[in-house]
Amino acid sequence: MGSPATTASEEDLERSDPCNHRCGGDSPEDEVVPHIHGLPHHPTNAMRSVRKDADQISSMSLSDFVRRRFIPEFVEVKRSAGRSHFREILKYILLAETAHCGLAETYDRIDVKRRAVQSWPYMDSLRLCDIDEDSVRQIVSVALDSGYSLQTATHIRNVIRAIYSHAIVACCYTGRNPAALVSMPAMARKDTHTLSTQQLRRVLEVMRFPERAIALLSILTEMNLVEISGLQWQFVNLSTNRIFVDEEWIPARTIAVRNQWYRGEFTPVMGKRRRFVPVPELLGSILRVLRSSKQLTLPEHFVIASRTGSPIYPGNIAKRRLKSIGQLCEVPWLSWRVFHHTHVRLRTEFGRNYCKELESILPLQWW
């Protein structure tokens, strides 16, 4: 005689568990399972053990999965910029008290805006299989309603999506990625601000070291902030002859972009960012004056360094100085990005005469 039919109460019980599918609910021992990675079609003790382990992982809290699997297997294998990005965004998803094992250092800075929201929907205690699309939409909505930018909210959504993508690949979660179908509002691009020549002169007059040096390198080269922070004198050739450094020749009047300083880590640049940047005569004159006025001018010293010789983080300078300078000069939108946009506009406007035009507004006596 065949096996008795499943009762209605048993069917209701099975449907009552919303995690039955996503957490890999227990299957009858005589169930035939598909062939996976060379394992036999029929269940074995090894397969039952693997399934049991997967069920336990899928039933763990999000914070436990992030600590045990996501951080060591996904985040730590990335470059320093990638690791910093994920650790920065994870603080919006996990409480500081539970975000240990390599994450605690990202919570040193008190986020007043988020702490002011008493009901911030942290996901620490939720199981992997408890988080659905509505949960992701909620944390994104709270972030936007609390004044965070659309870009930050998008990063939060994307990190949650990355967590679940890794859980699926690692066979720790089955089902649809809860963040995959959470759409974001269209991003309204802000107007690109640039400085007129009069505004540029006024801003530079008010500036002092180190913000003036950073601004001038941004205006006169195509180097970004982390490259400027990581620039050492040994890679600056102001002479009329090529020089030999680190088993390579640096052409005359050229900066070799080889390293960067990002979030406290000094690392080499990669790919196309490893390049030579011409030094126009105006920039060469400014760098010579800068080097002659500083004591830390050994080859390994940084071009823009603190009194102790350590690199300077432009983000801190922006918070302490750029905002007040912008208010004083009636350009409240002043930022490091504005100098880059100004560089692009001036190069387009003046072409080959770009540096000559700037000589009239960048007198060397400022140094």
Residue-wise DSSP of 243-304: EEETTEEE-TTEEEE-EEEETTEEEE--GGGSEEEE--HHHHHHHHHHHHT-S--STTSBSS
Spatial separation of the C-alpha atoms in residues 341 and 52, rounded to whole Å: 56
Mean pLDDT of the chain: 79
Spatial separation of the C-alpha atoms in residues 164 and 61, rounded to whole Å: 13
Sheet holding 275-278, edge to edge: 236-237, 254-257, 275-278
pLDDT at res. 4: 47
- At residue 226's C-alpha, the angle toward residues 225 and 230, to 5°, is 115
Whether the predicted pLDDT of 125 surpasses 80 = yes
Spatial separation of the C-alpha atoms in residues 168 and 134, rounded to whole Å: 19
Spatial separation of the C-alpha atoms in residues 293 and 275, rounded to whole Å: 28
Q: Report percent pLDDT > 90 for the chain.
A: 35
Q: What is the average per-residue pLDDT within 80-100?
A: 80
Dump pLDDT digits (tens) for 295-347.
777 889 999 888 888 888 888 888 888 989 999 999 999 999 999 999 988 88
